[in-house]
Amino acid sequence: MDRSEARPVRTVTVPTAALLDALQPLPEGMRAAVWDLEGEPDGVDYADIDAVVLPYASGTEYRSALERVPQLALLQAQSTGYDGLPELVGPGTAIASAAGVHAAATAEMALTLILAAQRGVDSALRGQHEGTWEQVRCPGLADRRVLLVGVGGIGREIAARLRPFDVELTRVGSTARTDDDGAVHGSGELAELAAAAEILVVITPLNEQTRHLIDARILSALPDGGLVVNVARGAVVDSEALTKEVVSGRLRAAVDVFDPEPIPEDHPLRQAPGAIITPHWGGNTDAFEPRIREFLRRQVRRLARGEEPLNMVRPGPWAGRSGES
């Protein structure tokens, strides 16, 4: 779609009947239909569709379906991450994430992984199933030096949850700056900062700049016994380098994401004593449904008023336009 010819969004599709019900009553002049991108849209023509809400677990298999929509103005994800979505649609289509919807749940997962690793919960569970009883002194979280890579919405939520645990928190963003919470270091300082960190937490988007941002050089800079926590995307961390460090026993890992996913059954990280692995559960809690419904209701109201969508990660026909929520 040519930006100069952008027309108002009047027809939006959602992947489930539950989401369709959640949008009711629709703003005047708007209509919505169910389309899971596998069958046919329910009651609307492809030519009339302006915006598409992707299923929660979206993927490149939707490319052929989206190619049938000639006037697609907006592709809306239900996830915070949007890696892979620009390849599904042409440059004239805007892309929006669901940033904020998963922030609290993903921050919970980060803290869960940190605490489980630092308090030896993984060892206790093994002992529970093996019938052993061993009292050990664990590192704990209080007074630990935590390096948080990522200062977006989820990064802010993680930082807020870490501070009551009396940690020494250092934050890293793409560039050095100061925000409302203090100093943010640039990614160029990662190796130096990692050398002084005991816990490295990764929550940065996956893009060309962040793929393997946490590589062998950064991992080798971490002190012995350091913990790597990844709740971002698997490919932000070099999986081979991380596995080598953890299997050797030098580092520990607590990861909700990995590259590839699922982790192969025979992957050595699965059996490493210093590893805790959860299967990409980060944002998937009962909080998701009410939060995504409320977010989509707000999004549809903005579209009906001709305002730019919330959480745009690629502007498409809304370049240079804005509006109030």
**Long-range contacts of residues 85-88, Cβ cutoff 8 Å, at least 24 apart:** 85/54, 85/58, 86/314, 87/60, 87/63, 88/60, 88/62, 88/63
| pLDDT at residue 1 greater than cutoff 60 | no
| pLDDT at residue 269 greater than cutoff 50 | yes
- Region for 306 from its dihedrals, namely left if φ exceeds 0, alpha if ψ lies in -120 to 50, beta otherwise: left
What pLDDT, on a 0 to 100 scale, did the predictor assign at position 8? 74
What pLDDT, on a 0 to 100 scale, did the predictor assign at position 318? 85
What pLDDT, on a 0 to 100 scale, did the predictor assign at position 323? 42
For range 255-276, the mean pLDDT: 96
Angle between helices 103-118 and 121-130 (to 10 degrees): 70
What pLDDT, on a 0 to 100 scale, did the predictor assign at position 147? 98
Helix (H, G, I), strand (E, B) or coil at 309: coil
What pLDDT, on a 0 to 100 scale, did the predictor assign at position 324? 40
Could you tell me the pTM of the whole model? 0.90
Model confidence over 41-98: pLDDT tens digits? 999 999 999 999 999 976 668 999 999 999 999 999 999 988 889 999 999 999 999 9
What pLDDT, on a 0 to 100 scale, did the predictor assign at position 4? 40
Model confidence over 236-260: pLDDT tens digits? 999 999 999 999 999 999 999 999 9
Residue 29: φ, ψ to 5°: 90, -5
For range 16-38, the mean pLDDT: 96
Mean pLDDT for all residues in the chain: 93
Non-local (6+) Cβ contacts of 165 within 8 A are: 141, 142
| Tokens of residue 163, six digits | 């501070």
What pLDDT, on a 0 to 100 scale, did the predictor assign at position 60? 66
Cβ pair 149, 190 in contact under 8 A: yes
Of 60 and 226, the one with more pLDDT: 226
What pLDDT, on a 0 to 100 scale, did the predictor assign at position 6? 47
